[in-house]
Amino acid sequence: MNRPEHPFPSATPPGVRPRLAPARPGVESLRTVPLLCAALLLLGAMLYGPALAAWQHTLVVLVLVAGGAGLTLRAVLESGRLHSLQLARAPVGNGAPPESASACPPSRPQLRLITPARTAPDAHRAAEPAGHDRPASDAADPLTGSYSQHECRKMLALMFVRASRFHSPLALVMVRIEQLGRIGTLFGTAAADTVLVELAAFLAQQVRGGDVVARWDDTAFALLLPGTAHEDAQQLAVRLQHLIGHTFFAGFSHLSCAIGVASSGQHASAEALATAATPARHP
């Protein structure tokens, strides 16, 4: 709904005292009294006209003339007062003469249009949580916008070395959609790609700001979870499996996923960690 910016706008600019019209005594009293008296005398003259004397007829005519003159005077004074008020309401200091101010119609309050907020140019960037940074163009997967497999392997190697040096936990979770190949066969490659794009945005919302979401291969995503114990990673895997099965991705629901979990304390290298976390493919 459009609402005025100010309910009662002032026609006088701030800091300027308006010019008041000069007082005209007697104008307020000349309202309906002459008209009422003239109407009553006219009614009496019509009813009792034959029974009135000559001087009474003269008195009635004088009262009627006085009433008409009073109404005329009231109209003249009211028009002069309105003209003075229009001159007093005209803005001062804008260079316009007083004659042009009386011809301008009274200003109306400005309306403020309530417009919807602007949408982000990139829908996937707007859907991401605040704590996640988008990867650079050379390190991003061209379809989903998450980290590519090559970049993920480099980050996994660095995180594995850091976790081994500082004796901190590092978990790797792999998520693979099992029906993705069937969706591509029945509904086309575009439908399968849309599922991957929406799944990448969904996974980015389920992890913390310091975690990494990367596309591992054509049907799987890798979640790098530094500082996460194996038990916490398993709880995250169970929660993701439940949520993916009850969430719509590109219009498809009840999707099943294979999830693998591995921790750095159980393996000697980053490659062994990735191999242990990679879920098996189902035909």
90 and 191 housed in the same domain: no
Structure confidence at residue 53 (pLDDT): 74
Q: Tell me, yes or no, whether 117 lies in a domain.
A: no
Q: Tell me, yes or no, whether 61 lies in a domain.
A: yes
Give the pLDDT confidence of 138-157 residue by residue, as tens digits: 688 999 999 999 999 999 99
228 and 255 housed in the same domain: yes
Structure confidence at residue 125 (pLDDT): 43
Structure confidence at residue 248 (pLDDT): 93
pTM: 0.53
107 and 136 housed in the same domain: no
Strand order in the sheet with 212-215: 212-215, 220-226, 170-177, 257-263
Q: Tell me, yes or no, whether 168 lies in a domain.
A: yes
Average pLDDT of the chain, as a whole number = 75
Q: What are 213's two structure tokens? A: 């979401």
Q: Tell me, yes or no, whether 24 lies in a domain.
A: yes
176 and 47 housed in the same domain: no
262 and 163 housed in the same domain: yes
| Structural domain range at position 108 | 3-112
Q: What are 114's two structure tokens? A: 């309530």
- Comparing 143 with 66, the larger pLDDT belongs to 143
Q: What span, in angstroms and rounded, lies between the C-alpha atoms of 197 and 208?
A: 19
161 and 222 housed in the same domain: yes
Length of the chain in residues, anyone? 283
Q: Tell me, yes or no, whether 95 lies in a domain.
A: yes
Q: What span, in angstroms and rounded, lies between the C-alpha atoms of 197 and 195?
A: 6
Q: What are 249's two structure tokens? A: 């991705």
Q: Tell me, yes or no, whether 283 lies in a domain.
A: no
Q: What are 163's two structure tokens? A: 């976790």
Q: What is the CATH number of the domain that holds 271?
A: 3.30.70.270
Q: What span, in angstroms and rounded, lies between the C-alpha atoms of 173 and 232?
A: 11
Q: Tell me, yes or no, whether 31 lies in a domain.
A: yes
Give the pLDDT confidence of 6-51 residue by residue, as tens digits: 444 555 555 555 555 554 444 444 556 666 666 777 766 666 666 6
Cα–Cα distances (Å) from 65 to 59, 60, 61, 70, 267, in that order, read: 10, 9, 6, 9, 117
Query: Among residues 93, 112, 131, which one ends one of the domains?
Result: 112
Q: What span, in angstroms and rounded, lies between the C-alpha atoms of 133 and 142?
A: 16
Domain tally for the chain?
2
90 and 147 housed in the same domain: no
23 and 158 housed in the same domain: no
Q: What span, in angstroms and rounded, lies between the C-alpha atoms of 90 and 103?
A: 10
Q: Tell me, yes or no, whether 118 lies in a domain.
A: no
136 and 69 housed in the same domain: no
